[in-house]
Structure 1
C-alpha cells in the first residue's frame, strides 16, 4: 500500500510541475518506478463552455487504454493541450487507483475571452478598416498568437499607407464584470508619413533621370510639380515593385543584363523622410538573331514566324516576345489553342549569344487536340439557363477554342444580366482522356430600370414615370408563381413610359423586344407603340419672363415667346403624334459573325390644328417608312467598354408617293396636300473604336464619327419631319417633333441647327467627331462610375450645296458617368464651345449638360 501511495504522490507532483502561463511546451520529466494501468474513467474539470467529450478526445487518452505511470502517454496529452492554444493551464492527476485500474482527472483552465476592444489614436473610419483586418470577434478566446497577429496586421496596414514608423501596443486587462473575460486596449501611434525627399540615380546613360522617375510610379520625390498628382509616400512593397519596373524597362529596350548594383535608403530623422539612391549598371544592348522552330507539325514555320512578328535584327525584348507567343489576342500559341490544342506549349530557348545577338529556338509541344466534355453554368440565380446557353459558343463535343471562349464571355457581357467584370470561365483540362470541362461562373446584377421624375418649367409642372424590364418573361405572364414580383429570366425587354403635365402635354409609349424569336436562332423581334399630345399653353400660365422680344432671324423662342404662352385660345391648338413599329433583326455569319442586319417598318400619324410653330399648321400627315441597318458590334462591355468597335450604316425611306402622280404640279399644292403623305430617304453612319492605352486596361480612348443625310424625291415635297437637330446634351425636348437630336457638348441645345423661313429646324445633313479618354472610378455590380475628358466637333447644314465637312464647331470638356442598375446611365458634363453659332447668339462658351439614359 505504501508503494502505491508513493507512486501516486510522485505522479501528481511531476504532472503539476508543467503548470505555466506561457505557450511554451514544458519539458516533463518523471521519477519513480513506472507501472502499467488501465484507464477506468476520465473526468474533465475547470471548463464551462467546452464539451468534455471533445476535450477528452484532444488528449488522445480513452477509457480502456493501458498507460504507463509515469509515462509518455500522459506527457503527450499535456503537450496536446498546450499546442491547441486555447488553455492557459493543464493538469492531469490520478483521482483514484484500484488494482490495475486508474481514474484520471483532467483540469483545464480556458484562456480568457474577448469582452471589448478599445482603439486609441485612430479615426472612426480607420477603426472600421482595422477591425476588419484584425477579425477578433467578441466572445472569442484571446491567445498570444492572436494578439501578436493583430499587432502585425495593424502595423502592416499603416506601413502600406505610408506610415513607415507605426507603433502598435496591445494591453490586456481583466474585465471585472465578466468572469474569465478581458478587454484589449489597442494603442496605435501612426506617427507621420514617410515621404521621399530625393530620388537619385548613378550609372544611367540610356535612360535619363526623368524617364527613370516616370518608370518608378509609386516612389516619387515630394515638392516637384510633375509629381503633384502622384503618391510621394515611401512604401517598401511599392518601392520593390518599382525596382523591378526599372529593370523591366531596360529589358524592353534590349538591355537584358541591366541590374541595380546597389540601393541606399537613408532616413532623415528631422523631417521624417528618406533619400533613395540607386546605382545602375546598364550593360550592353542585345538584338534578336536567328529564330528557328522545332517540333511543329501542324503549322509551317513560316506561318508561325509571321504570327510572331519578330524578325532578325529587332531589339531584344523579352516582354514583347512573351506577349507575341502567349499573351496577345493574336499570339502564336492562340493559333494552336483555337484549333483544340489546349495541351500545347511553346518554350523559347536561347541557343547562342554571338556578341550582341541572341539566337532563339522555339521548342513546340503540340500534344493532342482537346474536346469539350462538359459546359457548366453557375451563378445564374435569376436568368434561365437556356438564355445563357444559347449565347455560349463552346459546345460539348466541339474542339476547344480560346477565341470562342473569349467571344462567349463578350456575348454574356452584352446580355446585361451579369456583372461583366466578374464573368470568369474556368478551364478544367483532363489530359488523360483529351477532354476539357468549361465552367462559366456568373454573377447576376440588377438591370431593370425605373424613372420617376418631376419638375417645373415654362410655367407648368411636368412629371414622368418609366419602367424598363430587361430580363422579362412573357411566356410566364399568366403564371402566378412566376410573379416575384414580375416574371423574369427569359431575356426579353419590356418598357413602359408616361409623361404628362395634365391637358397641355401627354406622352405614352410601350415597347417589347424578343431577342431570340422561336428560341432557336438569334433573330430578334421588336414592337413599339406610342402616342403624344401637345397643346398650346393656357393664358393663366403666362409669365413675361419667358418673352424674349426682339426676335433673332426668326428662330423659335427668340421671336417674342414660347409657343402659345401669350395666346388665351392656345388651349385649342394641338399636335398629336401616334406611331407604331415592327422590327426584325438577324445575326449574320458573313463577312463575320459580329455583323447583324435589322429591318423595320413603322408608321406615324401627325394631327395638327392651328399649330403655328411648324411649317405645316393644319391637317393630317402620314409617314409610312422602312428602315434597313447593317451593323458590326464587337465591344467587350456595354457599360464601360475597354476595347472593340461599333459600326452601323442605315437607310430609312418612304415610298416615293409623288412619283405615282407625275402630272400633278406640286409647287402650287397647299401645305396640307403636300404633307398628307410624307416622303424622304434618310442615310446615317456611325462608328466608334475603343482602345485601352495602359497595361491595366483601365484608361481607354474612344474615337467616334457619325453623319447623316436627309434627302427627298421631289424638291417641292421636302419632309418637315426626321430632321437632324444638333447641339447640347442630345436629349429630345418638346420642340423636337419627329426629329433626331444629336448632342454636341459645349453648346446650347439645338443651337447648331439651321432653320427655314417658317422658323422650323431644317437640319438635313450633319457631321460629328468625338474623342474621349475614360478612366473607371468604380466597376461594381451595384454601380459603374467613370470620369472622362472629351474633344468634339460637328455642324449641321440645310442644303447639300452648303455642306463643308471641315467647317465644324469645336468644343472640349470633362464629364462623369454613373450607371446604377435601377436608374440606368446618368451623368454630367462641362463643355466649352470655342466657335460662334450662325443660328443663335452666345450659344457656345461654358455649358453644363446632364445625361440621362444615353451615352455619347
Structure 2
C-alpha cells in the first residue's frame, strides 16, 4: 500500500520539477541582462531660474555631455545627487531620464531650492544673551535655510540656557513666508525658572562631616542667600567632576579606597533639585615605603623630597598626583625632568596595600630621550616685529628643552602688553621631530591695542583743567622719518613714547614728554628719560597771594639692567634727576619762595614674577630704592628710602587675593629740616593733577586728597598739609576677573586699606593708621587705557583741608584714569 502511494506522488510531482528546471537548462532564456548604456546628449536643470546657478548645479553633479552612463546599477547618478545636495541649497534633488534620440538621452536634474532666510529673531530672552547667541547660531541672512539649521539652532539655544542653570528651557521655531518666497524665522524661548541645588545630602560618612564634603564640590553647591555674587545653578554635566572632588578630599586624608557608592538627583517641591550622595569611606592608610625604579638622572632622595610624601605619614593621593605631574609652584617631578630636556618623561606609580593599613608606593620612571628646541616660529604679529618678540623668548633653537623656559617666555610676552592674554596663556603649539629629537614651537599671538589716548578734565582750585595725552607702547623711533611706516605712527620696535598736555588756559599749563628704549644695544637694558614744564599764574591752596607765578622744570634720565643673579627676575636701575622751581609770590606753600633746585641720584633693586601686569593673579613684586639729593651749593638736600611689596595669590580660576605694602623714610644729610619730597596721603592720581610739587602724593581709597598726615595752620587760619617724613601703607584686595576680551577687560574687587604718615620717629606710631574699605572695579579699554572706580568708607575721622569737607566718617566715590592706586 505504501509503495502505491509513493509511486503516485512521483507521477504528480515529476512534471512540476521538469517545468521548474527547464529554464535553467536553456542557454540564456531568463538570464539577468546588464543595464543599457546611454550617451548623455544634453543636461537640463529644472527648478532654478538663474542661468549661472543652473550651470553651477551641472558642474557640481560631475556629469558631462558625451559621457557614457547607466541609469541603473551605476554610482554616477547617486553621487551626482549627493554632490548637489551637499551644497546646502536644495531640499530635494532628483535626476531622471528625458527625451531619447539617436544621439543619446537628455538628463533632467530637478531641484527644490531651500527658502532664503530674510530675517530671524528671538523672543523671551535678554538683549545681551541675544548678542551672544547670534555668534553661535549657524544662520546667515540671505542664505538658504535648511530644516537641519533650524533644529541645530534650537538645540544651541537650549544648551546655552541649560549651561546657565535653566534646565527646563523650551524652544519653538515659527517660519513665515514673505511674498517673494523668503522666510522670516522666529525662535520663541521660554527659559523657565533657574534650577538650583537646594540641598546636598551625604550618607555613609563619619570621618569627614557633611559641610567639608559640600565645600569640596566646586560647581554644584547649595544655594545660600548670602552668596549673592554667585548663582548656585545645577550643572549635571559637572556632577562627575564634583563627585571626584569629594573622593579627592578623602584621598588627601589617607582614605585610599574611598568611593561613591551611589548618587541620585531629584526635584523638590519648589522645582529645584536635591543631590543625595552615599560614600564608602574605607580605612585610613599610611605610607610604609617609597621606592623608585628606572631613574638614572636624579637620586631617590631628591625625587622622594619632591614627591612630598613621608614614610609613616597618612597617604595623600592628591599631593602624589600634583607633585608627580604638575603643581602650581613648579616643583613637581615632571618639571624637574622636563627642565633637563626629558619632555617625554613618564612616571608610573603602583600602590600596594600591605600589613593592614600600610601602603607601599613604587614609581617606575621612564625617562626617555633628551630633546632640544628646534624651529621657533611666531605668527599673528601684524604690527610688532619678530625680533621684539624673539628677544623676550627663553626658548632658543639648539638649547635643551625646558618647560620652565616656555613658561617664562609666556610671562615675558605678557609683560609687553602687546598681545591678548588669552592667546598667550594657551601656550605655543608644539611639534616633535623624533629623528632629530627636536621640539618645534609656534607662538600664535594676537595683537591687541596697547596705545592709549587720554582725554579728560578735572576741577581744581584754579578751575577746569583739560588733559590730552598719548601713550605709544610699541613705538619705532628708527622709522620716525620713514613716511611709509606712519600708519598712523611708526610702530613695532617696542619703544615707549608718551606725550601729555594739561591746561586751563591762561592760569595753568603743563607739557611733558618721555621716551624708553627697553633693549639698549641689543641687551635687556632699558634706558630713557623724561622732561616736563609747568607754569602757574594764580594762587593755590587757599593762599593770600594774588600776584606772582610758579614755574617748574623736571628732567630725569635712567638706565636699568636685568640681572642673572639671584635669578633673572631681578633688575637694578640708576636714575639722575634735576628739578627747578621758581615760586614767586608764594603761590605754592610747599615750595620756598624764590628759586629752588635739586639734583638727585636714585638707585633701586627690584624683582617681579607677576604674569599679567594689568590684572595680576599670581606672582610677587618688591622694590627697594634710595634717592639722594646731595647738599651742593644752594641745592636742596635729603635722602629718601622706599620699600614696596606686592603679593598676588590665585584663588580658583577667576579670584585672587592681593596684599601690598609701602614703607618710606626721608632723612637729612646735613641735620637741617627736610621740607621737600614729603609724603602726602589720600586721594587719587586724578585729584593730584597739577598739585604735587615739592611733595610725593601717596594715593589712598576712601580719603580725599592730602587728608592724611601732618598739617600746619597758615596765617589766614587755613589748614594745609605739610606731608610726613615716615610712611606706612598697606593694601588688600579680593579680585574677580569678570570679563576679559578684546574690547573690554573688567575686574571688580573688594578692598581694605590702611595708611598714615608721621613727621618724625618721636611721633611715629605704626598702630595709628587711617583705615578704609569698600568696593571698586578696574576697566581696561584698548585706546583709553585703565579706568578705576571705587566706592569706599573711611573708618577714621581726619582733619579736613578742603572747603566743604567735614572730615567725618562717610562713604565716598572716587575714580582715576591711567594710573591706579
Q: Structure 2 length as normaliser, TM-score?
A: 0.87
Residues of 2 paired with 1:236 and 1:74: CA distance?
48
Q: Provide closer, same or farther for how the CA distance between residues 484 and 279 of structure 1 changes in structure 2, counting only shifts above 3 A.
A: same
Question: C-alpha displacement at 1:476, in angstroms?
Answer: 1.0
Aligned position for 1:827: 788
Question: C-alpha displacement at 1:621, in angstroms?
Answer: 1.4
Does the 8 Å contact 1:826/1:850 carry over to 2? yes
2:107 corresponds, among 105, 130, 137, to 105
Residues of 1 paired with 2:193 and 2:651: CA distance?
36
Aligned position for 1:662: none
Aligned position for 1:523: 525
Aligned position for 2:94: 90
Residues of 2 paired with 1:822 and 1:83: CA distance?
48
Question: C-alpha displacement at 1:651, in angstroms?
Answer: 0.9
Does the residue aligned with 1:249 lie in a helix, a strand or coil? helix
User: What's the CA shift string for 1:300-331, capped at 9, x where partnerless?
Assistant: 11111122222223433333222111212121
Does the 8 Å contact 1:417/1:444 carry over to 2? yes
Does the residue aligned with 1:310 lie in a helix, a strand or coil? coil
Does the 8 Å contact 1:746/1:844 carry over to 2? no
Does the 8 Å contact 1:711/1:764 carry over to 2? yes
Does the 8 Å contact 1:382/1:489 carry over to 2? yes
Aligned position for 2:117: 115
Does the 8 Å contact 2:85/2:92 carry over to 1? no
User: What's the CA shift string for 1:638-666, capped at 9, x where partnerless?
Assistant: 101111111111111122337xxxxxxxx
Does the residue aligned with 1:691 lie in a helix, a strand or coil? strand
Question: C-alpha displacement at 1:624, in angstroms?
Answer: 1.3
Residues of 2 paired with 1:107 and 1:395: CA distance?
60
Q: Within 5 Å, which residues of 2 pair with 1:161-240?
A: 161-171=164-174, 175-178=178-181, 181-221=182-222, 224-226=224-226, 228-240=228-240
Aligned position for 1:724: 679
Aligned position for 1:774: 735
Residues of 2 paired with 1:79 and 1:533: CA distance?
82
Structure 1 residue 709 and structure 2 residue 690: aligned? no
Structure 1 residue 692 and structure 2 residue 664: aligned? no
Aligned position for 1:815: 776
Q: Which deviates more, 411-420 or 796-805?
A: 796-805
Q: Provide closer, same or farther for how the CA distance between residues 456 and 111 of structure 1 changes in structure 2, counting only shifts above 3 A.
A: same
Aligned position for 1:552: none
Aligned position for 2:499: 496
Does the 8 Å contact 1:493/1:513 carry over to 2? yes
Question: C-alpha displacement at 1:118, in angstroms?
Answer: 5.2
User: What's the CA shift string for 1:700-722, capped at 9, x where partnerless?
Assistant: 11111211111112233x33211
Question: C-alpha displacement at 1:184, in angstroms?
Answer: 4.3
Residues of 2 paired with 1:388 and 1:818: CA distance?
26
Aligned position for 2:287: 288
Residues of 2 paired with 1:131 and 1:757: CA distance?
64
Residues of 2 paired with 1:514 and 1:69: CA distance?
76
User: What's the CA shift string for 1:63-112, capped at 9, x where partnerless?
Assistant: 566555653457745874797474424142252164xx742413322242
Structure 1 residue 849 and structure 2 residue 810: aligned? no
Residues of 1 paired with 2:495 and 2:111: CA distance?
64
Does the residue aligned with 2:700 lie in a helix, a strand or coil? coil
Residues of 2 paired with 1:69 and 1:409: CA distance?
62
Aligned position for 2:25: none
Q: Within 5 Å, which residues of 2 pair with 1:248-259?
A: 248-259=248-259
Structure 1 residue 403 and structure 2 residue 361: aligned? no
Aligned position for 2:566: 591
> Unpaired segments of 5 or more residues in structure 2?
1-29, 715-719
Residues of 2 paired with 1:31 and 1:172: CA distance?
54
Aligned position for 1:806: 767
Does the 8 Å contact 1:220/1:227 carry over to 2? no
Does the residue aligned with 1:444 lie in a helix, a strand or coil? coil
Does the 8 Å contact 2:680/2:709 carry over to 1? yes
Structure 1 residue 563 and structure 2 residue 543: aligned? yes
Does the 8 Å contact 1:604/1:623 carry over to 2? yes
Q: Within 5 Å, which residues of 2 pair with 1:468-617?
A: 468-518=471-521, 520-537=522-539, 562-564=542-544, 570=546, 572-611=547-586, 614=589, 617=592
Residues of 2 paired with 1:700 and 1:266: CA distance?
35
Does the 8 Å contact 2:60/2:80 carry over to 1? no
Q: Within 5 Å, which residues of 2 pair with 1:60-71?
A: 67=69, 70-71=72-73
Q: Provide closer, same or farther for how the CA distance between residues 792 and 188 of structure 1 changes in structure 2, counting only shifts above 3 A.
A: closer
Question: C-alpha displacement at 1:195, in angstroms?
Answer: 4.1
Does the 8 Å contact 2:590/2:695 carry over to 1? no
Residues of 1 paired with 2:579 and 2:161: CA distance?
65
Residues of 2 paired with 1:767 and 1:417: CA distance?
35
Q: Provide closer, same or farther for how the CA distance between residues 516 and 135 of structure 1 changes in structure 2, counting only shifts above 3 A.
A: same
Count matched residues: 773
User: What's the CA shift string for 1:497-525, capped at 9, x where partnerless?
Assistant: 1222233222221111111122x111121
Q: Within 5 Å, which residues of 2 pair with 1:142-161?
A: 142-161=145-164
Q: Structure 1 length as normaliser, TM-score?
A: 0.84
Does the 8 Å contact 1:372/1:435 carry over to 2? yes
Structure 1 residue 738 and structure 2 residue 694: aligned? yes
Does the 8 Å contact 1:112/1:182 carry over to 2? no
Residues of 2 paired with 1:91 and 1:327: CA distance?
61
Residues of 2 paired with 1:489 and 1:334: CA distance?
34
Aligned position for 1:543: none
Residues of 2 paired with 1:850 and 1:81: CA distance?
62
Q: Provide closer, same or farther for how the CA distance between residues 710 and 209 of structure 1 changes in structure 2, counting only shifts above 3 A.
A: same
Does the residue aligned with 1:590 lie in a helix, a strand or coil? coil
Q: Provide closer, same or farther for how the CA distance between residues 275 and 597 of structure 1 changes in structure 2, counting only shifts above 3 A.
A: closer
Residues of 2 paired with 1:69 and 1:415: CA distance?
67
Does the 8 Å contact 2:462/2:538 carry over to 1? no
Question: C-alpha displacement at 1:749, in angstroms?
Answer: 1.9
2:602 corresponds, among 583, 602, 627, to 627
Q: Provide closer, same or farther for how the CA distance between residues 95 and 332 of structure 1 changes in structure 2, counting only shifts above 3 A.
A: same
Q: Within 5 Å, which residues of 2 pair with 1:376-525?
A: 376-423=377-424, 424-458=427-461, 460-518=463-521, 520-525=522-527
Aligned position for 2:639: 681
User: What's the CA shift string for 1:789-821, capped at 9, x where partnerless?
Assistant: 222222211123322333322222222111223
Question: C-alpha displacement at 1:436, in angstroms?
Answer: 0.9
Q: Provide closer, same or farther for how the CA distance between residues 293 and 818 of structure 1 changes in structure 2, counting only shifts above 3 A.
A: same
User: What is the aligned-residue RMSD (CA, Å)?
Assistant: 3.0
User: What's the CA shift string for 1:536-559, capped at 9, x where partnerless?
Assistant: 34xxxxxxxxxxxxxxxxxx96xx
Q: Which deviates more, 211-220 or 526-535?
A: 211-220
Residues of 2 paired with 1:820 and 1:83: CA distance?
46
Q: Provide closer, same or farther for how the CA distance between residues 90 and 771 of structure 1 changes in structure 2, counting only shifts above 3 A.
A: same
Does the 8 Å contact 1:39/1:62 carry over to 2? no
Residues of 2 paired with 1:398 and 1:162: CA distance?
49
Q: Provide closer, same or farther for how the CA distance between residues 162 and 744 of structure 1 changes in structure 2, counting only shifts above 3 A.
A: closer
